[in-house]
Structure formats: structure tokens, C-alpha cells
Amino acid sequence: MAGLYIHIPFCKQKCTYCDFASFPKEIGKAESYFACLYREIEGRSKQYPDTVVDTIYIGGGTPSVVEAKFIAGAIRQVKKCFTVKKDAEITIEINPGTVNAEKIKEYKSVGINRFSIGLQTGWDEQLKRLNRVHTAKDFLLCANMLKGENISADILLGLHNQTAEEVKKTVDLALAGGVKHISMYALTPEVGTPIYTDYLNGELLSDDEVADIYDEIRAYLLEKGLYRYEVSNFAVKGFESRHNYNYWERGEYIGVGVSASSFIDGRRFTNTFKIDEYMNAVIYNKNPEISSDQIEGADAEFEYIMLGLRTIKGISIAKYNKLFSADFDKKYADVLNKKSRFLVRDGDNLKIKDEYLYVQNDIILDFMK
């Protein structure tokens, strides 16, 4: 079983914090890009002919900015080329300012059954400062069009002068829209993005301030019926993201499109981040990959530990021992002793205590040494 990721590198305008492969000025290349995307999907299916696809995730960029026929074509091509499970989870990321009822109708017609809305914040002044193309009202209109569907929303922490009360209001807005899943991320100012200047000028919240807000909102979400199942992800029971869980469990996945990464047979490889380079490679039957690494030995072990400890389930010691022909308790005895107050053993599973999950990086890094 494998996940399949489809990258759509187009958007209406660039958000101030965006460091993804998204290109507002390249939207005119959409038709040519999708023709190449369909071709890559076919090529990957021949490269990995026995792959059974359990989840599909369409991300970007802003997938909802392009005509719905292109998205529908991508899903049809996947179903034509791969074996796709009948109950597959099929997610699309949408921006409330670029979607309408007709697009949603076409998405649903090809089996898309999960909708991830980029809300980010429920405050229009903050949305404007982030250069988002939607308002809080647009979110509610979008959510209303999706009434009864499986909806997720993204929320950002660490914005200019943001308070916990403001984030609670954003959560309330999301829940009013029928959201059953929330991904809550701390803003990461990347070098080269407009918001990085604000970070250098000390205009954003400190890490400690963000951590305090996170803890308060985690408790608030739990009150509202959304439990944390991964450090940044919260859901009503039964509405967890199967696609993302596959990443955290080091499951296999195939990525198609610009900048998309794959992990198959222990090999992780990534496509070029340049649209023209990607299309030329596909057109001339060349490989669009720009990097390829075989993940094995200590690297594979650390990935297993690092990804697993991000989740509320933690890692299975028995599975680790079997996968890596090692004795986890003996190998990491010193780390387990040093970090004992942060960790808890639950039967076969080792996990980070609930109150320390947000600062899991400091705990996980010791497993690298």
C-alpha cells in the first residue's frame, strides 16, 4: 500500500511566508503542465507496477486555482494507471478565495472525499498582512459549499502580535464551518520570504510565546472534541489524515509534479523545483529527479524514531527490533535513562509524554548521537 502526492505549483499570489514551489506568474502554463503531469503518472505506474494506492493528496501551491477539469483529469489518470483502493482517502488543498460550487461538484465527481482548507487565521487584517486572497467570510462560504463533507483547516501560530484569544476565535470559526480536523503549525520564517524581514526586525512572536499559545489552544481543541494525534494535527476521532499518517509511519509514497518527493523501496527522491525543467524532462522522456538517496542503516533507524515520536502513538519497540535487527532497549539505554522524565512506555510502545510533545525536537535529537 502506498500514498500518492500530486503537486500543483500554481497560485493566485504568493503569501508572505510561502517557501513552497508555487508560481503565480506561471499559471498560463497550466494546460501544458498537466499534460506532463499525466504523462509522469503513467511513467511512475510502469516504474512501480504493483503499487496499490491507499491515499491521494493534491497539494501546492493552490490546486483550487486551476480549472477543475485539470484536477479531475489527474485523478482519472491515477485511477487508470494505478490500482486505487475503493475506500481510498483523496484529499485536495483549497483556498477559500479560489473555489466555487462548480469546482467542488467536479472534485466530488471523481472521488475526492477530503477537503483541506487553508484558513490560516480568522482575522481579515492578519490575512491581508499575510497576502492571502480570501477573507474569514470566504472561508464560511466555502465551508457551507462543503457542508457534510470531510473538512480540515490549516491554522498558523506566531503571527504579528497574535494572542491566544485570537487563535481561539479562529478555531471557533473553523468549527462553525464544520471542520473535523485542524492542522496547527507554528510559522517558520524562511530565508528569502517577505516575512523573514519581519522576523529579523523582531516583529514576530518568540518561540516561547508561540509555545504558550500552542499549549492553550491544544487544551481548547480538546475541550471542543479534537484530540492531538501528532504534534501539529488534531482531529475528531475517525477523522485523522490517513495520508499524513503514512508519512509518519515511514510508509511508501509516490510524488508526481514539480518538487514532489517519493519514498519507495528505501529510496527517497525528489523532482526538480523548476516548471520548465520539469516539463522538458517529461516531454523528452528524461527523469525529472534532481536528488536520490537510499535511506538505510542509522539514517533509516533515526527516521523511524523521529517520525514515530511525533505522534501520540509513539513507536513500536518490537517493530523497531524486527526492522533493524537490533535491541532498542540496549542500543538506546543511555538516552532512555537521560530522557526518562520526558518519555513513557505503554506496553510495546514508547512515546513522548503529552505535555512535552510540542518540544519533541530536543528529545528526539538525542537518538542521533
CATH number of the domain bearing residue 334: 1.10.10
11 secondary structure, DSSP code: -
Cα 233 from Cα 120, distance rounded (Å) = 14
Cα 171 from Cα 213, distance rounded (Å) = 13
Per the DSSP assignment, residues forming a β-bridge with 182 are 153, 234
Backbone angles phi, psi at 237, to 5 degrees: -50, 130
Task: For residue 271, tell me if it sits in a domain.
Answer: no
Q: Residue 142: exposed, middle, or buried by beta-carbon count in 10 A (0-12, 13-18, 19+)?
A: buried
Per-position pLDDT tens, the chain of length 369: 899 999 999 998 878 787 787 788 889 999 999 999 999 999 999 999 999 999 999 999 999 999 999 999 999 999 999 999 999 999 999 999 999 999 999 999 999 999 999 999 999 999 999 889 999 999 999 999 999 999 999 999 999 989 999 999 999 999 999 999 999 999 887 887 888 888 888 888 998 999 999 999 999 999 999 999 999 999 999 999 999 999 999 999 999 999 999 999 999 999 999 999 999 999 999 999 999 999 999 999 999 999 999 999 999 999 999 999 999 999 999 999 999 999 999 889 999 999 999 888 888 988 886
Q: Residue 140: give its domain's CATH number.
A: 3.20.20.70
Number of compact structural domains in the chain: 2
Cα 161 from Cα 305, distance rounded (Å) = 35
Shared-domain flag, residues 128 and 228: yes
Cα 263 from Cα 250, distance rounded (Å) = 8
Structural domain containing residue 364: 297-368
Task: For residue 190, tell me if it sits in a domain.
Answer: yes
Shared-domain flag, residues 150 and 19: yes
